[in-house]
Chain A
């Protein structure tokens, strides 16, 4: 078997493994869909009245932001799963097999795409109920969906590295929620960057979350795109180019 077809076949076997596990861990699935829904309701109905978004209904402004945040955190399943695999010795088993060295990680990150598609559908459904509407062409809306899934995939590689450096799922959890989660708030996801104090504002402007959120807004709501859309795709490529090799390198030496 050629090394490429081996990598593809091994990745599919492992992605299949991850997908089989999902319905058997209903708690994970619930956390995965209920939490973003809670966020939508919280922001629209609790904070929404207090946040000024000139030119938009808050729910229209919010939905792209909250969807980008949830999708980026979809990869969290990868961090939890990998740290558990390390702890339980499964990574040792995989590393002793004549399989592709990237397949365990690629299997994880690619099965995240399906989970993310699911969470996107749930979020949009809740968004419509809360009053969200697209204001764009079907082609641009779909490009927005592609961008979201690509960004989610890129973030899965970030979380793959987090998972491999965490000695337990609990550690992965705390790295995710103390180091990465706050980054999503220091962006244009929930409030306009213009309303932020100096310092934070400059940070938010260069934060890739802002770029991606603004790109999705332009694709879904028809706001001026400027360079955001292609910059957003570029960010995804850059994240993968940095984190995928780091994660694979870590995988080759990791031990419980």
Chain B
């Protein structure tokens, strides 16, 4: 059996260059010791551009003005792990508590804005859209906007296509929802146009100025703050405050919290999950 020549270990200068590039452009903090990750993610790009070694590729990156290649490198260093109805409990809280409250609070305006920030390949915003279609049919004459953003154009293109492999469809989607909201084409499950139309995908970097978005009733910003330094988390959370509509709710990932980072937030417990809100607790 022939094996590919082992790539020489990434030299520290090259690693440092990638670490800085990725930190500056995405705020993702690559710790020392993540050299193997840089290697496995960037080697395919290096090869595709005719470089035999990673160091040679990185050397050429340093000499060029920032362009598509640098963007590709940053995108390649993002972790896009996601699934439909990830962790399930946040979606239960959305269905049983957050949305029913919003539906009565917004019944005059008949308008809702939801945002999946860092949506990766689309499973999160599509889960929200499916949940709305499945459990809130009364909202059909409302204006419901679901915005979905990510840093990486590559994952956004996949999200926009709305085509999922069987293994992706196996993750988190009960069979009844799969057959109701997807069609099988070849090996893939395609989300139905009626659901796809409900989600608007936009590119947005959380550490750069955000695109013009309406005040949000619900923000999902899950499993992205974990990659950032505490200072970056604090800055983003304070920007989220400005983006949340009065009475709005923020969902974070299971390993994320505002506690000790931005104490303007109030944590609300819902059994197996929590949400975050602003302002004093309503007396109930």
Indicate whether A and B interact: no
Chain A residues engaging chain B, CB cutoff 8 angstroms: none
Chain B residues engaging chain A, CB cutoff 8 angstroms: none
